[in-house]
Each structure stands twice: as structure tokens, then as C-alpha cells.
């Protein structure tokens, strides 16, 4: 199977917004997250985008909580590509946003999210100044962490090219392109074409859809030869017509099923690292006999 036939499934299991009272299957504790990630790995996911929650389900930036989650995930699903968030949605100072980058040992992240511009969410703004983006990119490079580049509009793709030209983002270049959030780009052929045309030639890219647009964005990416991001962070329902609650494994299973109908197989974590350009990782040897 050629790399073009393999699809990287990037799981976003938790995020900052879903709470159990409205999204009953969202995992929030390290144990819940790790078990959910393992089930999704078995279903076909190869990388995971991790957020941390406190005991009250509220988002937290604390390094020790990220450490707990990353170590738990690495123990349950050692092959997975580990990605941590540096989101500015709930706090916007460098110290808090960069704490997730300090995780070391078995759960050391290979990648970390880096949103390439500011935008509005339905009820709040996410501010990402050029200085903040550059500072986070530099901190990632110093720690050997590859940015998971997040794009919500074409201007962010243009800014990525500027940062690449300035050697602030030396590569490899993996882009999550998120469609459907109120205030940013909708899911459409025109928007998809515009963003893809603006990406650097060496880019690996995935489409994500917010809420009801997740399935449409994922299917569009599959048809164009790209990769996908899927999970409860972005979408709480399996069926938006009757508001059937989703689970992370069911969302992964559905996108795998659609991919296979299109002649594409889920990439293994080893294949995902090769496609993206990440260094090989062998956590399985380190976790042998631990459980």
C-alpha cells in the first residue's frame, strides 16, 4: 500500500468544552482518557491530540496533569503518536500555554498544537499574536517537539509560509485544517481548495469539522487523499438529526469504515510517523512488563 492509500486518523478525545452533563461519554480523567485512546487505537486511530482536565472537569494547564495523562496513554497505547495542546482559548500567557511541553519520560509528546492566528469562537476569542506563535514554535523546537499546525482560515496558511521562510517552522509540516467553526471558514469546496493551494509543497494535511460538519470535512479529506481529525472535542453527536450521543471509538470506527469504502486503510502509528516525517518511537519496549 502506498502512503497515499493510508489515512492518518488523529483522535481529539476531550478538548476544553465538552462536559459529562451534555457529552456523557467524554473522558476527563487520565484513566478514562487512556482507556478511550486504547479503544480508538484498536479501531484505527494512530495519533492523539490531548487536553488536560482537573477533578472538576475544568480545563487545566498544569504540567503534572498533562504528565499524568501522557504517561497513562503511553502505558495503554504505547504506539500512538502523542500530541499535546498549547491552546490559548482559556488562557493566553506563554508560561501556562507552554507547560504541556515539559512532559518528559515515557509520555514525552512528539507534537504539540500551534494555532497560526487569532479567531472568534461562538462565545469567545482565541488570541494568538505573532509573538506568541513564534515563542511557542521556538519552545517546541528547543524540546524536539514538532508543531501540529492549526489553520481555521486561509490567512493562517499564508502566515505559515511566512514563518517557514523565516525558518521559524523548519519542518516537518503537518497541518490540521479546521472547518465549520462559527466565525471562521465553512466546509466548502472553495475554502478547501483555497487553503490547500496555500500550503507548502511538503505539507501533510488533515481536515477537521466542528460539530455537525465533522463527517462532511472528514469525508472530503478522504476523497482528496488527505487525513482526518475526529473525536468528541469537535463533535458531541453521532447523528445530528436525533442528537444521538457519540463516543470516540464509534466516531473512529465510522471514519475507518468510510475510508475503506474509498480504498484507503488506517495508517499505523509507524506509518503515520513516516508520512509526517517524525522520528521513530518505541515505547512498547519500555512498557513491557509494566502492567
Query: What are the tens digits of pLDDT across the range 258-267?
Result: 999 999 999 9
Count CB atoms within 10 A of the CB of residue 58: 12
User: What values do phi and psi take at 255, rounded to 5?
Assistant: -70, -30
Q: 114: closest CA among 164, 46, 41?
A: 164
State the alpha helices, DSSP H only, in 168-213: 189-198
What is d(CA 40, CA 19) in angstroms, rounded to the nearest whole number?
Answer: 20
pLDDT at 288: 55
Torsion sign, CA atoms 51, 64, 41, 276: positive
Q: Could you give the C-alpha distances from 62 to 4, 53, 85, 279, in angstroms and in order? A: 38, 9, 12, 27
pLDDT at 1: 44
Residues 6+ apart with CB under 8 A from 38: 76, 77
Would you put residue 168 in left (φ > 0), alpha (ψ -120 to 50) or beta? alpha
State the alpha helices, DSSP H only, in 44-108: 63-76, 94-97
Strands 146-151 and 125-126: unpaired
CATH number at residue 48: 3.20.20.70
C-alpha cell at 158: 499564508
C-alpha cell at 188: 466548502
Query: What are the tens digits of pLDDT across the range 75-100?
Result: 999 999 999 999 988 888 999 999 99
User: Is the peptide bond prior to 11 cis by the omega test (within 30 degrees of 0)?
Assistant: no
Question: Domain count of the chain?
Answer: 1
Per-residue pLDDT of the chain (291 residues; tens, 9 = 90+): 454 689 999 999 999 999 999 999 999 999 999 999 999 999 999 999 999 999 999 999 999 999 999 999 999 999 999 999 999 888 889 999 999 999 999 999 999 999 999 999 888 888 999 999 999 999 999 999 999 999 999 999 999 999 999 999 999 999 999 999 988 999 999 999 999 999 999 999 999 999 999 999 999 999 999 999 999 999 999 999 999 999 999 999 999 999 999 999 999 999 999 999 999 998 876 655 544
Count CB atoms within 10 A of the CB of residue 48: 29
Cβ burial of 152 (10 Å; 0-12, 13-18, 19+) is buried
What is d(CA 181, CA 184) in angstroms, rounded to the nearest whole number?
Answer: 6
pLDDT at 291: 46
pLDDT at 283: 82
Residues 6+ apart with CB under 8 A from 247: 25, 36, 232, 238
Q: Which domain holds residue 225?
A: 3-287
Half-sphere exposure of 220 (CA within 13 A, CB side): 22
Q: E strands within 142-202?
A: 146-151, 174-179
Return the ∠ at Cα 130 (arms to 124 and 136), rounded to 5°.
90
C-alpha cell at 240: 445530528
Amino acid at each position: 500500500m502506498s502512503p497515499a492509500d493510508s489515512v492518518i486518523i488523529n483522535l481529539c478525545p476531550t478538548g476544553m468544552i465538552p462536559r459529562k452533563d451534555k457529552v456523557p461519554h467524554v473522558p476527563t480523567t487520565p484513566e478514562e482518557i487512556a482507556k478511550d485512546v486504547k479503544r480508538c487505537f484498536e479501531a484505527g486511530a494512530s495519533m492523539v491530540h490531548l487536553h488536560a482536565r482537573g477533578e472538576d472537569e475544568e480545563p487545566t494547564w498544569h504540567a503534572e496533569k498533562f504528565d499524568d495523562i501522557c504517561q497513562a496513554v503511553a502505558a495503554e497505547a504505547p504506539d500512538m503518536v502523542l500530541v499535546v495542546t498549547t491552546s490559548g482559548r482559556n488562557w493566553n500567557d506563554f508560561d501556562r500555554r507552554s507547560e504541556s511541553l515539559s512532559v518528559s519520560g515515557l509520555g514525552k509528546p512528539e507534537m504539540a498544537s500551534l494555532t497560526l492566528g487569532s479567531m472568534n469562537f461562538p462565545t469567545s476569542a482565541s488570541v494568538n499574536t505573532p509573538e506568541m506563535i513564534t515563542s511557542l514554535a521556538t519552545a517546541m523546537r528547543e524540546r524536539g517537539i514538532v508543531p501540529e499546525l492549526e489553520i481555521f482560515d486561509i490567512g493562517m496558511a499564508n502566515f505559515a509560509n511566512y514563518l517557514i521562510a523565516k525558518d521559524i517552522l523548519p519542518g516537518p509540516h503537518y497541518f490540521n485544517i479546521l472547518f465549520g467553526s462559527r466565525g471562521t471558514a465553512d466546509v466548502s469546496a472553495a475554502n478547501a481548495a483555497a487553503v490547500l493551494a496555500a500550503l507548502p509543497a511538503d505539507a501533510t494535511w488533515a481536515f477537521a469539522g466542528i460539530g455537525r460538519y465533522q463527517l462532511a470535512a472528514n469525508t472530503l479529506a478522504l476523497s482528496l487523499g488527505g487525513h482526518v481529525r475526529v473525536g468528541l472535542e469537535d463533535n458531541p453527536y453521532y447523528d445530528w438529526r436525533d442528537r444521538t450521543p457519540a463516543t470516540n471509538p464509534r466516531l473512529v470506527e465510522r471514519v475507518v469504515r468510510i475510508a475503506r469504502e474509498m480504498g484507503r486503510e488506517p495508517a499505523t502509528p509507524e506509518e503515520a510517523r513516516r508520512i509526517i516525517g517524525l522520528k521513530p518511537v518505541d515505547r512498547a519496549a519500555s512498557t513491557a512488563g509494566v502492567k
